A and B are shown apart, each in its own frame.
Chain A
């Protein structure tokens, strides 16, 4: 095992079925069991804080980081309300959340903490924290998923969080909450008949899991645009979780991958995967996208005359 401040990476799905009704489908139960195994891996990793990135929490105004010390509520999912209510009480790390925001700003991002009683923590974060950290042994932060952010901004966000982890001196486990393929069944199904929505979705999920099992995190990150086009319902502009995970963990392929479960949940590809830093596994990178260090704002192709960095183009053009 390679020594690293980020001692574990975990991918988990966020739909509530493994938490609320695993007994209704054997696959949902296997996902629930995989959550338990991932919990044990986190406990044994020496992690001192959980850093969650949830694709179930959209943001618009930059990046939001949950900082309310003990959020508590009785939650009901807006789609699956008939599965029941979820009581929760979590433990956040406000000091670390503030540090992460500072690091985001240092790299040019618009970011802020949110710390309000009753803030609606999203389904994915609730499911992940209830199953991975049921006794609140570890403090956590939750990072939102900006709906407009694309790759450069997401990579810089990940690096900012990495900066915070390194400065804090804490060992961190990074948890990204996301489905692989995300096409839900749009009709009611009997739980026992659940399946991945299409063969194409399944094939892309399988390809990503093959890479992850080999520890090829950065390769998966760099294939995210392709995956978004092939296996995602485009509710947001891009598929970000592996950009975030890779940029926090170090943008390489040096991991031991462990696919603990892969099952359909209401048609989506639900996988539980852990990544542990390793000395040498999959070798060199296969892809070579840009590697930005700072965020300099949206590059507006239609409003470029107003971009301060570009100067008055009319003068340059000699008009």
Chain B
């Protein structure tokens, strides 16, 4: 068996607004569009993936929050309706997806060897979180690849950002080892926004773009700081700044997804490709790809 590899990693945020704006048949709510900058960014990310050969998508999601360890989906198929508890007016999505349980279990076991507390989720009635579904849809709307879904352990709340990051670095290493041992080619997604202070009201027409902007300038400056570090290939510095960034902008990086991704990719020192930056109800969202082949050029 040949050695498996991570063919690409991406920051792939999950505002359900982006699915709503595209009007896919799976979503019951319909719109007049909106958030084009980000949606076109996802188009560019999909284009960059079109030449890649990969077997599985591994998603680390903030919206499956666990407090006792990190959990992994352990059932082969899920088919149900996902209704967003925050934005039910725009996201009611009928999903039908497959899970690569073998790889899921392999990452679980690899993480356990790293000393992390882990658990398989084997209840077939479990409902998949909308973060996983949104990122999964926007990267692969055909859903023709199985996924591995990893919960976000909220050790940041119970301890601090530094401990969360230490655990996510271990989880990233465990993920890379398991992928390499599996012989499979994997796409990794960090399903999170950057700055994350929302507006607390919504326009009458949710897609009214005249109302969309960053919540405050502080968030914008921090988002740009982090994105520029990614563009320059300074991902270790970016991770070092993460606790301050998370604190200052109530960033969704608190869930550990981006730290996990950077660790799994071996802390890229090559330039990331920024496909888009935009806001959704005031939060900062970037779509960014890391292609390990660039490291070899």
Which residues of A come within 8 Å of B, CB atoms?
57-62, 74-76, 78-79, 81-82, 84-85, 110, 114, 116-120, 122, 146, 148, 183-188, 233-235, 266, 298, 302-303
Contacts and interface: CB of A to CB of B under 8 A. Distances in A.
22 contacts: A58-B85, A58-B86, A60-B86, A61-B200, A61-B201, A75-B125, A76-B123, A76-B125, A76-B126, A78-B64, A78-B129, A79-B65, A82-B122, A82-B123, A114-B88, A116-B88, A117-B81, A119-B83, A183-B158, A233-B158, A298-B200, A302-B216
Nearest to B93: A118
A111 B70 CA distance: 35
A78 B125 CA distance: 11
A61 B68 contact: no
Given A62-B200, A184-B67, A184-B68, A234 B157 contact: yes
B interface SS class? loop
A187 B85 contact: no
A160 to B, nearest CB: 16
A188 B218 CA distance: 40
A61 B119 CA distance: 33
Nearest to A115: B88
A60 B200 contact: yes
Contacts, number: 96
Contacts of A187: 68-69, 117
Which of the listed residues B64, B92, B200 has the most CB atoms from chain A within 10 Å of its own CB?
B200
A79 B201 CA distance: 30
Interface size class for chain B? 35 or more
A76 B123 CA distance: 8
Contacts of A233: 157-158
B155 to A, nearest CB: 7
Contacts of A75: 125, 127
B198 interface: yes
Given A78-B126, A187-B69, 8 more contacts: A59-B86, A85-B125, A110-B200, A114-B88, A118-B83, A118-B92, A183-B158, A186-B158
A267 B24 CA distance: 43
Identify the 10 closest CB pairs spanning chains A and B, nearest first.
A85-B125, A118-B81, A81-B123, A76-B126, A118-B83, A110-B201, A76-B125, A60-B198, A61-B202, A119-B83
B226 to A, nearest CB: 21
B127 A76 contact: yes
A43 B203 CA distance: 42
B274 to A, nearest CB: 27
